[in-house]
Amino acid sequence: MSTDSPMHFNQSFDEHSRWRQGFSAELQRLSNWLRDNDLQDASVADEVEALRERVSSDKVMVAFVAEFSRGKSELINALFFADYGRRIMPASAGRTTMCPTELGYDPELPPCLKLLPIETRLQAQSMSQWRAQLDGWQSAELDVSDAESLAAAMARVAEVTRVSPDVAERLGFWQQQGGADASLIGEDGCMEVPKWRHALINIPHPLLKQGLTILDTPGLNAIGAEPELTVSLLPQAHAVIFILGADTGVTQSDLQIWQEHLASSVGRAEGSLVVLNKIDTLWDELSDSGAAAHQIDRQCSTTAKILGVERSRVLAVSAQKALVAKIHGDDALLAASCLPVLEDVLVHNIIGQRRRLLREAVSAKAQTLLAQVNRLIQYRVRDLTEQSQELDSLRGKNGSVIRHMRLRIEQEQREFEQSGGRIQAVRSVHLKLLGGLYDTLGHARVTEAAALLIQRLKEPGLKLGVRKTYAQTFDGLRQLLDQADRYAHDIQTMLASSFGQLNAEFGMTLHMDPPPPLDGYQNQLAEVEQDHLQYLSVGHTIKLAQADFCERLGRALLGRIREIFELAATDLQTWNKAAARQLDGQLRDRRKNFARRVEAVTRIEEAAGGLDERMQDLAVQIEEYDRLHKHLRALVQSMLYAEPADVTPDTVPSEQAA
């Protein structure tokens, strides 16, 4: 799509959602087909569920960051809420969004606004812990059918409260040392701070229902005082939109936000942009439009140079004019606002990227699923073929030979059952290695590795030498991931050897996949380290001397690290379960196979003519498995490559597609 015919972000997100829904429908059809054809054992069911979870839980978070009065909330209104016919997010002059605000949708909750009191910063829980225990929040229901009522409720995020300078300092909004502006203190001896620490807004907006999450952040003061924003939330955003004033360009406080909190995150997120808002302030009726356009382009180029980003990542808009244009249906004004160009870039940088990454992720999992089912089919076909050959060898033989074969099969069956002790020994070694693996990635080891740094941060006064402790801590954390990787490869080696012996002795087709690589988690750890280093800079010396701030900093850091290690443990646990369930499935199939072989020979022994009947039955089963194999490939291909407009749950792909 070219910027000559931009697609609204809303339209593109709708299309992305339809693609996900279509994929889910195809996945459900595949799951039903596997179950109906007895091809969905426990390990296959796990892969199907992992695919379903990967698609259904896919979220797109767009974070909007700006200093006060840059028009951030107005841009959110213009992009997402113009259909309400009025402003929904507060966007009046002065400070509006006073606390970080997340807009999303959880169908299990009613439309509501949840507000976390600012005083919770003085308590021991981290923000992630507060998010998990919503009883500490103040809640208000939202009437989403009434735009006026909705806007009034949203305005609460701008509420403030007055506290003493001492409390303000503990909350992170004041520094009595360092020459803080005394004019902020009123005649009552108090100063104004945000009333709320965080806001969660749950509304059934079409985009939010489809997986979009909007993060609206306040200015420099609030960002710097809430480490979890920059350590956890912002780095996880798929796009960060940094908003400046087109009339002012990059101010000192803008630059401070960028350098201390955004530069590394924006550099990693491909969808991130810098937006110069309020270009309408540069429209001059005394000059021609070309002069204004030249001035805007020059401001964009200067901004790109100052921030060190590509010129193509700096866009200029007028959010206020765009909102007015959308509400009144003024196409000319909308084009002049340049918002359609921004929407088009968002479509390519965010939605296009998410579609590509999601397709790659589900394609990899689908191929794993296909390989597992193929192995199951091949294993069953081989068993059926061996049975057929075994029975064919009985043609023309007398009852004594047939009886001898039955006794031989029964003896093999007993020997197989007696191998249970060896298999149990394999499970025992596996569990022992697993214990070491999970212990390495567990909360206790992570907390132990970070303990010295957390202790150093809590020490009163200046934190001299804390950088060295910081580097040592992350070296220790990297070593834990390396140790977990060694455990995983030891497990792979042990199980691959055991599986090989079982395959040779009992004709199984057990396969041991390599463990999931932990490189991605090492990279995430490095990103957290880089993002956190900003707090050890000279500019944060005074903050690092504040006990309450360091307490929040330590909690944010430990929470994010634990999250990374939990995700790594979950990946390895899924891998281990797949191996264990594959073994269980083939043991179960082998027992059934022995029972069928004994039954077939017994029937032949007891009734003449049973041989041909049984061999014909086996031939039909082998032919059916061949048909199932071809159809499976067609189903997976349909699931992976169907586009939104092409996907319907009832569509059955032809076997030619295989």
Higher-confidence position of 57 and 646:
57
pLDDT (0 to 100) of residue 396: 65
Region 329-350: mean pLDDT is: 87
Higher-confidence position of 334 and 410:
334
Look up the CATH superfamily of 59-159+195-337: P-loop containing nucleotide triphosphate hydrolases (3.40.50.300)
For residues 268 and 274, is the Cβ–Cβ distance under 8 A? no
**What does the mean pLDDT of the chain come to?**
80
Higher-confidence position of 421 and 573:
573
Q: What is the pLDDT of residues 87-125, one digit of tens each?
A: 888 876 555 567 888 888 888 889 999 999 999 888 878
Q: What is the pLDDT of residues 290-311, one digit of tens each?
A: 788 888 999 999 999 999 888 9
Dihedral, 67, 69, 73, 79 alpha carbons, nearest 10: -100
pLDDT (0 to 100) of residue 322: 94
Higher-confidence position of 230 and 269:
230
Count of CA atoms in the C-beta half-sphere (13 A) of 287 = 11
- The residues facing 281 across adjacent strands are none
Rg (CA), the chain: 31
Beta strands in 403-562 (DSSP E): none
Tokens of 397: 């033989």
Q: What is the pLDDT of residues 527-550, one digit of tens each?
A: 888 777 766 765 666 677 777 778
324 three-state secondary structure: helix
Task: Note the Cα 73 to chain centre separation in Å.
Answer: 25
Asked whether residue 178 carries a pLDDT value surpassing 50, the answer given is no
Asked whether residue 645 carries a pLDDT value surpassing 80, the answer given is no
Residue 275 CA to residue 650 CA, distance in Å, equals 44
pTM as predicted? 0.69
**Residue 568 confidence class, pLDDT cut points 50, 70, 90:** very high
Asked whether residue 5 carries a pLDDT value surpassing 60, the answer given is no
Residue 240 CA to residue 275 CA, distance in Å, equals 10
Asked whether residue 270 carries a pLDDT value surpassing 80, the answer given is no
Region 308-336: mean pLDDT is: 93
Task: Note the Cα 284 to chain centre separation in Å.
Answer: 46
pLDDT (0 to 100) of residue 95: 54
The listed range with the strongest mean pLDDT (17-21, 178-182, 197-201, 604-608) is 197-201
Burial 362-389, CB ≥16 within 10 A → b, else e: beebbeebbebbebbbebbbebbeebbe
DSSP per residue, 84-152 = GSS--S---SS----S-EEEE--TTS-SEEEEEEGGGGGSS--HHHHHH-GGGSEEEE--TT-HHHHHH
The length of the chain in residues reads 658
Tokens of 319: 């959010």
Asked whether residue 552 carries a pLDDT value surpassing 70, the answer given is yes
3-state DSSP helix/strand/coil % of the chain, to nearest 5: 70, 10, 25
From 29, 8, 99, select the one nearest 325 (Cα to Cα).
8
Q: What is the pLDDT of residues 278-288, one digit of tens each?
A: 999 888 766 67
Q: Is 106 left (phi over 0), alpha (psi -120 to 50) or beta?
A: beta
C-alpha pair distances (Å), 35 with each of 246, 255, 290: 59, 58, 66
Higher-confidence position of 38 and 529:
529
The listed range with the strongest mean pLDDT (70-74, 440-444, 525-529) is 440-444
Region 554-558: mean pLDDT is: 85
Q: Where are the alpha helices (DSSP H) in 329-442?
A: 331-337, 339-346, 353-392, 399-418, 420-441
Task: Note the Cα 377 to chain centre separation in Å.
Answer: 33
Burial 225-255, CB ≥16 within 10 A → b, else e: bbbbbbbbbbbbbbbbbbbbbbeeebeeebe
Residue 197 CA to residue 117 CA, distance in Å, equals 6
Region 78-82: mean pLDDT is: 87
From 333, 316, 336, 335, select the one nearest 325 (Cα to Cα).
333
